[in-house]
Amino acid sequence: MPVRAVVIHETGPPEVMRLEDVPDPEPEGEVLVRVEAAGVNRFDINQRKGGASSFPLVLGNPGDAAGTRADTGERVVVAGAKGSYAELTVAEESNVYPLPDGIDASVAASVPTPYRTAWWGVVGRGELAEGQTLLVQGGASSTGQAAIDIGRSLGATVYATASQAKHDRVRELGANVVWEPLGARTFERSVAALGRDGRLITPGAVGDPNVSFSVWAIVGKRARIEGIAGQLTPRETFARLLEQVAGGELHPWVEREFPLAEAAEAHRLIEAGEVTGRVVLRV
């Protein structure tokens, strides 16, 4: 039977997104999942705007979702789904995690990409520890909020910026770790905020990726700059993050929920910067 999914047949503005009937996905050694909620990621917007190269494409590929396994009925959360903006999706077994009791599907769907990315950057590579200082640039972004949440749970002192007016307050902060997802607009100040042996970690750039700064700013501090990819977070670590969400130690924030039919509006709000929490599609 066909299932409903948000599909694009070309790249462009949010209007290119269509809610259509598509054939059931056919697992090839993968897990079939009945989706209850799908997280809206920046990568989805980039694909829709011009990054996609094959059509038709069910958005959320790779995507985040929460729902139930079709084979066992077990509640699960999925990272790297092949088309999460749909009633049914598939994912590799290694990307499907049991969903602890007490976590709503919307909250679960909001976790994988931001928290896997933030943990790998801030802890896995940044080596943030209790008592250290973390500066999060772009604290209103989904990964920024995840980095703040993780930093606090570790017992670090966390500073975050969300506007130009706050940048001067963190210059020469002496941060052990700086989370830098914005690019040219903040990169030089992020370098300046590092302390001795500090680590600047970037998952990419929401804005201009062409940055400029003096190399002496990192030489004198013996600092390092590193790019990361969230998918490197170990499976057991993400499972532990989910347990921390269930236990109230981490606090993902879902600001808005939309039905699949209003996926275009979800994209518009994110592009316009009108939301600070996570946006989720309910199926």
Q: Tell me whether residue 247 is in a domain.
A: no
Amino acid at 51: G
For residues 151 and 139, state if they share a domain: yes
- Same domain membership, residue 263 and residue 162: no
CATH of the domain at 200: 3.40.50.720
Asked whether residue 119 falls in the same domain as residue 132, the answer is: yes
pLDDT for the residue 164: 57
Q: What CA–CA distance (Å, rounded) separates 82 from 200? A: 32
Q: Do 128 and 222 lie in a common domain?
A: yes
CA distance 103 to 220: 46
Q: Give residue for tokens 């100040």.
A: 189
Evaluate whether residue 37 is within a structural domain. Answer: yes
**At a CB cut-off of 8 Å and minimum separation 6, what does 160 contact?**
135, 136, 137, 139, 144, 148
Question: Is residue 105 located within the same domain as residue 119?
Answer: no
Would 245 be classed as within a structural domain?
no
Measured distance CA(49)–CA(236) in Å, rounded: 34
Query: Which backbone phi and psi does 189 adopt, to 5 degrees?
Result: -70, -30
Q: What are the average pLDDT values for consecutive 10-residue runs of the chain, which has 283 residues?
A: 94 98 94 98 95 95 97 97 98 97 97 96 97 93 93 96 56 83 93 96 93 94 92 91 98 96 96 88 97
Backbone phi, then psi, for 8, in 5-degree steps? -120, 140
> What domain range includes position 212?
114-232
The predicted pLDDT at position 186 comes to 92
Amino acid (1-letter code) at residue 157: T
One domain for residues 102 and 119:
no
Q: Residue 56 corresponds to which amino acid?
A: P
What local confidence, expressed as pLDDT, does residue 216 receive? 94
Element (DSSP H or E) covering residue 259: strand 254-259
Q: Are 216 and 131 found together in one domain? A: yes
Would 239 be classed as within a structural domain?
no
Map tokens 């699949």 to a residue.
260
Domain count along the chain: 2
What is the C-alpha separation between 73 and 33, in angstroms, rounded? 9
Residue 206 CA to residue 282 CA, distance in Å, equals 26
Residue type, 108: A
